[in-house]
């Protein structure tokens, strides 16, 4: 199924409902809008396998743009609306986008990358225009509302940062088959969460992330209504469940925490009885938080562990989780192996790197070295996300560390090297280490430890200066919220930073 098939049967059914504005996009509108844009792609010379990029907030047309690329057989890269100029320019150029789409509310940063992205042949802006951009609305207005003749399935290519600082595109093979063919994700969602045309799916997160984008599009394949929050607010979330009789939703643990902090009378005010599946992923959920959510919402909370790379998928339902508290699930896609540093399997209960056998194929776009680093050193074809964990005797996986000190704050991946690269060139910084420290609400927050050129300057003034310096060059969520100062950072004579020694000081429970 796909929006065109749904539109043929229920054209006036809401495909998208914007939570704040109330704007509705029907299946007819979703189908026609995505077809017009698909024809524009073809008119611009794009063929299956080519690439587009777009930077939008949770806009009513976000999913129309995604569907236009998907049904054109293109690779498409949705980009965070929070990025700064250099970060945005790098991704648009690196992915090889021939078309770049943005909106008037992001015009300043979108227009600032024109000179740095010469591969882009067509720039379109929704809700207005900016220098170098044509009007999206005018460009698509005269295009046909029927499918392109060579309609076929494309694929997203989302950027997942690496420990070397620069983000890398996660590229999976584009199917290029008929839109009607069900993909692996549709099969998994259908088997686990029983979606149907009668479902109402509430998406509270930015759509440029992998799970919100893919789940929204999957539910639309079945003819469900997708309610999109422009931004998450805990009480509004509860009100939306009641108002729209939401049946399915996907969240991150930080959202649970924010809702649990609402006053008891606020939490009790809303009827949540329609909600049958509350799905969470992106970061491990603290056991006490999930226990409280189960007490409040009942046994409807489901968890999975997977990555943008699609090389494995683990799942745990509420009943199994209560028997195996803290697990992120048991494998449904890919055989899980826990390996030591030599690549050998270790016994149950022993910590090691998590590998998947017979999982989905992927590569990191333009980075064969990074692609190889995710592969089994023994050449068995297994792949890893770099996470550390262990299996219990029943095959349930528990995560115990994060790949290369990646920080997960509010369900968003943050890679310390990006902030380190910025701060290290500041004239008052001799050395710097960035890592995650505990945060009750967000799970982790970004911390920097700096060796200043002069310890005489260490203090609140330099801390504020360095944080502001970082925020001028990176999205704010990637920058440290606080900075401590040391006269020397622990480094090996070879230059290797012993970040673990620093990080463990802030994680006493793990030290």
More confident site: 321 or 406? 321
Supply the pLDDT for residue 2.
Answer: 86
**Residue 362: inside a domain:** no
Supply the pLDDT for residue 403.
Answer: 60
**Residue 108: inside a domain:** yes
Domain boundary among 177, 209, 230: 177
More confident site: 503 or 152? 152
Supply the pLDDT for residue 494.
Answer: 40
Supply the pLDDT for residue 401.
Answer: 60
Instruction: State the average pLDDT over residues 114-135.
Output: 96
The 10 Å Cβ neighbour count of residue 403 is 18
Q: Comparing C-alpha atoms, which of 107, 220, 83, 48 is closest to residue 159?
A: 83
| Alpha-carbon torsion angle 44, 45, 49, 52, nearest 10 | -20
**Residue 154: inside a domain:** yes
How would residue 163 be classed by pLDDT, with cut points 50, 70 and 90? very low
Supply the pLDDT for residue 161.
Answer: 53
**Residue 230: inside a domain:** no
Q: Report CA 378 to chain centroid distance, whole Å.
A: 30
pLDDT surpasses 80 at 82? yes
How would residue 35 be classed by pLDDT, with cut points 50, 70 and 90? very high
386's tokens:
């770099």
pLDDT surpasses 60 at 495? no
**Residue 357: inside a domain:** no
**Residue 323: inside a domain:** no
CATH number, domain of 454, equals 3.30.300.30
> What's the chain's average pLDDT?
91
Supply the pLDDT for residue 404.
Answer: 60
pLDDT surpasses 60 at 356? yes
Number of domains in the chain: 2
Residues whose CB falls within 8 Å of the CB of residue 163, separated by 6 or more in sequence, listed in order: 403, 404, 405, 406, 415, 416, 417
**Residue 363: inside a domain:** no
What distance in Å separates the CA atoms of residue 76 and residue 361, rounded to the nearest whole number? 18
Domain boundary among 125, 159, 177: 177
pLDDT in tens, 272-290: 999 999 999 877 777 888 9
Instruction: Find the length of the chain.
Output: 511
Domain boundary among 177, 199, 223: 177
Task: Please report how the helices 62-70 and 27-43 are oriented relative to each other, as an axis angle in degrees rounded to 10.
Answer: 50
Supply the pLDDT for residue 342.
Answer: 85
CATH number, domain of 63, equals 3.40.50.980
What distance in Å separates the CA atoms of residue 123 and residue 97, rounded to the nearest whole number? 10
pTM to 2 decimal places: 0.83
**Residue 498: inside a domain:** yes
Supply the pLDDT for residue 493.
Answer: 44
Quick check: 58 and 69 in contact, CB under 8 A?
Answer: no
| Residues spanned by the domain of 30 | 24-177
């Amino acid at each position: 199924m796909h929006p065109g098939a749904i539109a043929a049967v229920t054209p006036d059914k809401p495909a998208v409902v914007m939570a704040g504005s109330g704007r509705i996009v029907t299946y007819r509108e979703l189908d026609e809008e995505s077809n017009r844009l698909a024809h524009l792609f073809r008119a611009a010379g794009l063929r299956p396998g080519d690439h587009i990029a777009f930077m939008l907030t949770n806009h009513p047309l976000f999913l129309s743009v995604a569907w236009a690329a998907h049904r054109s057989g293109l690779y498409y890269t949705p980009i965070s609306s929070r990025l700064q100029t250099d970060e945005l320019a790098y991704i648009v150029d690196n992915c090889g986008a021939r078309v770049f789409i943005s909106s008037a509310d992001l015009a300043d940063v979108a227009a600032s990358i024109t000179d740095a992205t010469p591969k882009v042949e067509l720039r379109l802006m929704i809700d207005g225009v900016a220098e170098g951009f044509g009007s999206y609305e005018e460009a698509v207005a005269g295009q046909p509302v029927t499918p392109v003749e060579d309609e076929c399935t494309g694929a997203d290519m989302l950027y997942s940062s690496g420990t070397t600082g620069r983000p890398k595109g996660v590229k999976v093979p584009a199917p290029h088959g008929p839109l009607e063919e069900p993909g692996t994700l549709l099969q998994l969602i259908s088997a686990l969460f029983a979606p149907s045309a009668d479902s109402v799916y509430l998406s509270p997160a930015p759509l440029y992330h992998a799970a919100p984008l893919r789940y929204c599009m999957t539910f639309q394949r079945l003819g469900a209504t997708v309610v999109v929050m422009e931004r998450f607010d805990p009480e509004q979330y509860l009100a939306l469940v009641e108002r729209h009789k939401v049946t399915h939703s996907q969240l991150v643990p930080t959202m649970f925490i924010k809702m649990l902090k609402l006053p008891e009378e606020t939490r009790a005010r809303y009827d949540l009885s329609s909600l049958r599946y509350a799905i969470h992923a992106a970061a491990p959920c603290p056991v006490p938080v999930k226990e409280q959510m189960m007490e409040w919402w009942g046994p409807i909370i489901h968890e999975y562990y997977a990555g943008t790379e699609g090389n494995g998928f683990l799942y745990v339902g509420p009943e199994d989780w209560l028997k195996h508290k803290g697990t992120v699930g048991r494998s449904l896609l890919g055989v899980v192996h826990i390996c030591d540093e030599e690549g050998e399997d270790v016994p149950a209960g022993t910590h090691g790197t998590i590998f998947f056998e017979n999982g989905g194929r992927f590569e990191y776009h333009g980075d064969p070295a990074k692609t190889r680093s995710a592969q089994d050193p023994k050449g068995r074809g297994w792949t890893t996300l770099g996470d550390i964990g262990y299996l219990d005797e029943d095959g349930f996986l528990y995560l115990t560390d994060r790949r290369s000190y990646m920080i997960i704050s509010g369900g968003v991946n943050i890679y310390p090297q990006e902030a380190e690269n910025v701060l290290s060139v500041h004239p008052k910084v001799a050395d710097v280490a960035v890592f995650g420290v505990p945060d009750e609400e967000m799970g982790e927050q970004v911390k920097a430890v700096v060796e200043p050129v002069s310890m005489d300057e260490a203090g609140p003034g330099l801390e504020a200066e360095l944080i502001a310096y970082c925020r001028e060059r990176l999205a704010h969520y990637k920058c440290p919220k606080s900075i401590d100062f040391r006269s020397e950072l622990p480094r090996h004579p070879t230059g290797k930073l012993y970040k673990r020694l620093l990080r463990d000081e802030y994680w006493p429970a793990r030290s």
